[in-house]
């Protein structure tokens, strides 16, 4: 593995899942990262991602340095040839090259603006780091993807499934704020590579990018979609068609015990943080079907497996 900026960087998903589950079983400090440094750069706030990735790195013996680009007001210039006489003090060319001197892996979080679809899809921040860094780059959630979350989700389903090929339903739910599509995008992406029957359900106007959903069925009737589901992944996202907009806060889409009753006693997943009684009802989150905490725990082992791959040269990986 050279980078982990999107799911295409995974050569063999099943192998990586098993590696993560093995690391979870061992749950012990290792030396693959001894003397190595992970630099985590946040252009947006983070709690779960920061803590789980930091923990994963330390479990591998790495040192971790965290930079809050959002708070420290470290305004970077990304434009080629810019005459830098305004408020941007450093060009990405130097920033990425210098961080590559101090860090063995650079991890970056940069959310979308949700105003200009083309601009968000260009993934300027993530791609610029990848272009100018001389060390591997990890995506801690970018404008359009969250591959560490997606790997976590694949691990969780692989770990908890009771049938060889479970039915997995991704359902939209209401939310008071306009949220990115990065989590559902990457979830769809990873599930398409896994041994599952994937169905997406959302209100009209909320269809995800068709280049990502491809031939995955999208059903606008939530109850119909949920029938016989083994796993339900609940998540809000803002409209892709009417880009970044909130078109509906229809509480009839809130995931409830009534919805759960339609499924095959499904495990309920969410990437967290979750708005209780808006996205998912208390009665669901507090019942045995909810696996959201279990899922959050797997963030650590997904990150650990990815970092380990990036630390160990491919030849050594094969030789193991």
- Helix H or strand E segment including 170: strand 167-172
**Total site size for its own copies, rule CB under 8 A:** 57
Q: Is 277 left (phi over 0), alpha (psi -120 to 50) or beta?
A: left
Q: How far is the CB of 189 from its own copies (least distance, A)?
A: 24
Which position among 15, 258, 286, 314 is part of the footprint of its own copies (CB under 8 A)?
286
Among 1, 16, 99, 305, binds its own copies (CB under 8 A): 99
From the list 2-10, 180-188, 255-263, 294-302, the region that binds its own copies by CB under 8 A is: 294-302
Under rule CB under 8 A, which residues in 165-194 are in contact with its own copies? 176
Residue with smaller CB distance to its own copies, 106 or 138: 106
Nearest residue (CB) to its own copies, 91 versus 235:
91
What is the distance between the alpha carbons of residues 242 and 258, in angstroms, rounded to a whole number? 30
CA distance 200 to 150: 15
Q: What is the spatial distance between Cα 128 and Cα 123, in angstroms, rounded to a whole number?
A: 8
* Residue 156 burial (10 A CB sphere; 0-12, 13-18, 19+): buried
Among 2, 15, 22, 98, binds its own copies (CB under 8 A): 98
151 vs 212 by CB, closer to its own copies: 151
DSSP class per residue in 82-95 = ----SS--EEHHHH
Burial (0-12, 13-18, 19+ Cβ within 10 Å), 40: buried
Nearer to its own copies (CB atom), residue 73 or residue 318: 73
In the complex with its own copies, the residue whose CB is nearer, 172 or 212, is 172
25-84 binders of its own copies (CB under 8 A): 28-29, 34-35, 37, 39, 45, 47-48, 51-52, 54-55, 58-59, 63, 65, 67, 71-74, 77, 81-84
Residue 138 and residue 11 in contact, taking contact as beta carbons nearer than 8 Å: no
Please check whether residue 136 is in contact with residue 2, taking contact to mean a CB–CB distance below 8 angstroms: yes
Q: Residue for token digits 């340095």?
A: 65
* Binding site residues, its own copies, CB under 8 A: 28-29, 34-35, 37, 39, 45, 47-48, 51-52, 54-55, 58-59, 63, 65, 67, 71-74, 77, 81-86, 89-91, 93-95, 97-99, 101-103, 176, 272-278, 282, 285-286, 292-293, 296-297, 300
């Amino acid at each position: 593995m050279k980078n982990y900026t999107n799911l295409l960087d995974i050569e063999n998903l099943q192998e990586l899942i098993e590696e993560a589950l093995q690391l979870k079983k061992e749950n012990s400090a290792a030396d693959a990262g001894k003397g190595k440094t992970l630099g985590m750069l946040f252009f947006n706030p983070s709690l779960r991602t920061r803590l789980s990735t930091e923990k994963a790195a330390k479990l591998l013996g790495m040192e971790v340095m965290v930079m809050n680009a959002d708070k420290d007001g470290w305004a970077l210039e990304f434009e080629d040839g810019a005459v830098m006489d305004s408020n941007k003090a450093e060009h990405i060319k130097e920033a990425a090259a210098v961080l590559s001197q101090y860090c063995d892996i650079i991890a970056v979080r940069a959310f979308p603006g949700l105003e200009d679809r083309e601009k968000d899809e260009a993934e300027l921040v993530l791609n610029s780091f990848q272009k100018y860094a001389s060390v591997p780059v990890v995506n801690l959630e970018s404008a359009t993807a969250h591959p560490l979350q997606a790997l976590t989700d694949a691990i969780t389903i692989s770990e908890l499934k009771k049938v060889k090929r479970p039915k997995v339903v991704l359902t939209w739910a209401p939310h008071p704020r306009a949220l990115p599509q990065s989590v559902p995008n990457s979830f769809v992406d990873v599930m398409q590579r896994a041994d599952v029957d994937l169905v997406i359900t959302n209100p009209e106007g909320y269809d995800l990018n068709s280049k990502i959903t491809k031939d995955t069925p999208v059903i606008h009737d939530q109850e119909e979609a949920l029938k016989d589901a083994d796993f339900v992944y609940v998540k809000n996202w803002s409209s892709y068609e009417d880009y970044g907009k909130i078109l509906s806060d229809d509480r009839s889409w809130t995931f409830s015990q009534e919805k759960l009753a339609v499924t095959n006693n499904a495990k309920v997943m969410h990437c967290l943080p979750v708005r209780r009684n808006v996205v998912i009802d208390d009665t669901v989150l507090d019942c045995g079907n909810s696996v959201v905490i279990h899922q959050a725990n797997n963030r650590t082992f997904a990150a650990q497996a990815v970092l380990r791959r990036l630390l160990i040269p491919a030849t050594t990986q094969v030789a193991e």
